[in-house]
Amino acid sequence: MKTLEELYPGIGVDTLVKGIKINSKEVEEGDLFVCTKGVTVDRHDFIEEAKKNGACALIVSRNIIDPDVPTIKVPDTNRELPYLCQKYYDYPDHKLKMIGVTGTDGKTTTTTIVQTLIGSDLCGYIGTNGRSCAKFTGDNPNTTPDAQNLYMYLDEFVHFGCHYCSMEASSEAFFRGRLQAMEFDISAYTNVTSEHLNIHGSFENYLQSKLMLFKQTKKDGFCILNHDDPYFEQAKEACNGQVLTYGLGEDNDLQIVDFQVFPDHTSINFRYKGEVIPVNSPLMGDFNVYNLACGMLCAIAAGIRMDTILKNIPNIKVSGRLELLNTRTPYYVMVDYAHTPNGITKLLNFVHTLDINRSIVVIGQAGERDPYKRPKVGNVVVENASYAIFTYEDPRSEDPQAICEDIIRELKETHSNYEIVIDRREAIEKAINMAEAKDMVLILGKGNETYEKLKDQTIYFNDIEEAYNAVAARKIKEDNN
């Protein structure tokens, strides 16, 4: 903890600051309340609530009259927040080797791979699947958290004895300024396809937000690039550190020579420094060959020995990503986070290389998010799956029926292999009850997330648990018959 005088020398107030908050409802006695501005909310409007809950001081960018507590005015509270948090927690990002991964698809998988290859006792993880380090795990409200949480998490990692942090660096985090105070030792990207246009306004803006990661890489750091991605050249131009590449060509630092996908693993031959390195990866799918290559190059750039990397590859497990559930049934159930047209297409193409009959997909699209991709998702699902059940997925303030209607907008006259079941629990039950021998039920979009954001509340909901419950209910019903 620090005093207000330590954070803002010359203020003349030695009030002890116990924490930093931007949500007035979360403020506790002794917290510093920073009045940031969001898309739909200005936290200056919640000063009275923050004071009532015990705020010890305020950071503002308005002229606040008679606030009753010490008040510091800055030009821009949003810009101030990450630098303030960085200072409050004694610059934990300077004490860790920071590894950032961006991309439309594969961020969670790749950052988890990096953590596993380095070792969770040495490397923390922050991303969609929460945060973890050594034997510690915790939740994370965003893929890339707001600054007051991000620097607190990094401080946790330092205290747990970590030396590295592998984190997902989302385009929205750069757009919102959450990462503006941070420099990265290693940066990497998986791929770029159209996404989040509701936030960025255009694909070019979206791409430029992602490329900020490479511009914020240290000059003596490393930028890990997918040579086979269409936007490789633009990414390379943005790089501030030494460029290392992975891909199919011989001119890559880590070449994917060839690979063969099996139902339970992938056999890969990589070439590094002229030597062919055979690998049996526990990850399935050709897209995960690229994710593994990216993760390996990140670990190499971090100074990890190749024998350590190869020893740790069998330990890779990414919760909620291509997770085949142990249902002990004649049909199969898989949960995955895929929610973009590109990610869904790649996943379904992979699934149909397996020895299955039909593919039955349960999927929705999030409310208050990119509406332009909804019909695209509908098209790729019905064109690549045997049957689709469209349902809600974090509808937030939007009508879930209207979201599903957006998804099927371009399908009504051309396809009939789908239906709408608004309630996600009922949709999962429907898919599992209609599955026959060797059918594959795919529950997509949420992975291992443990919530659903509805109009007036956030409820506990986990696709994996719901799937197991539906399988159990079906078994009981069949046994009774």
- Under the banding of pLDDT at 50, 70 and 90, the label for residue 209 is confident
- For the ranges 33-42, 133-142, 166-175, the lowest mean pLDDT is seen at 133-142
pLDDT at 210: 84
pLDDT at 143: 74
Give me the mean pLDDT over the 275-281 stretch.
97
Summarize pLDDT for 288-315 with one digit per residue, the tens.
999 999 999 999 999 999 999 999 999 9
Distances (CA, A) of 433 to 66, 234, 317, 325: 63, 48, 28, 16
Give me the mean pLDDT over the 255-273 stretch.
94
Residue 389's nearest CA partner among 468, 443, 350, 348 is: 443
CA distance 345 to 360: 14
CATH H superfamily, domain 323-480: Mur ligase, C-terminal domain (3.90.190.20)
Looking at domain 2-79, which CATH architecture does it have? Answer: 3-Layer(aba) Sandwich (3.40)
Asked whether residue 233 carries a pLDDT value surpassing 90, the answer given is yes
As a residue count, the chain comes to 481
Instruction: Give all strands (DSSP E) within 175-319, no chain letters.
Output: 184-189, 217-226, 242-247, 254-261, 266-272, 275-281
- Under the banding of pLDDT at 50, 70 and 90, the label for residue 53 is very high
CA distance 20 to 401: 39
| Domain spans in the chain, listed from the N-terminal domain onward | 2-79, 92-315, 323-480
The amino acid sitting at 414 is T
Give me the mean pLDDT over the 354-378 stretch.
93
Asked whether residue 71 carries a pLDDT value surpassing 60, the answer given is yes
pLDDT at 412: 87
CA distance 210 to 305: 29
Environment class of 469 (CB within 10 Å of its CB; exposed 0-12, middle 13-18, buried 19+) = middle
What CATH number does the domain located at 92-315 have?
Answer: 3.40.1190.10
- Both tokens of 459, joined, read 């409820």
Residue 431's nearest CA partner among 350, 338, 339, 364 is: 364
Rounded to 5 degrees, φ, ψ at 355 are -85, 75
Helix, strand, coil shares of the chain, percent, nearest 5, are 35, 25, 40
- Both tokens of 269, joined, read 């031959």
pLDDT at 77: 96
pLDDT at 447: 92
3-class SS string, 352-417:
CCCCCCCEEEEECCCCCCCHHHHHHHHHHHHHHCCEEEECCCCCCCCCHHHHHHHHCCCCCCCCCC
Give me the mean pLDDT over the 136-142 stretch.
76
pLDDT at 270: 98
The better pLDDT of the pair 412, 426 is held by 426
Radius of gyration of the chain from Cα atoms? 24
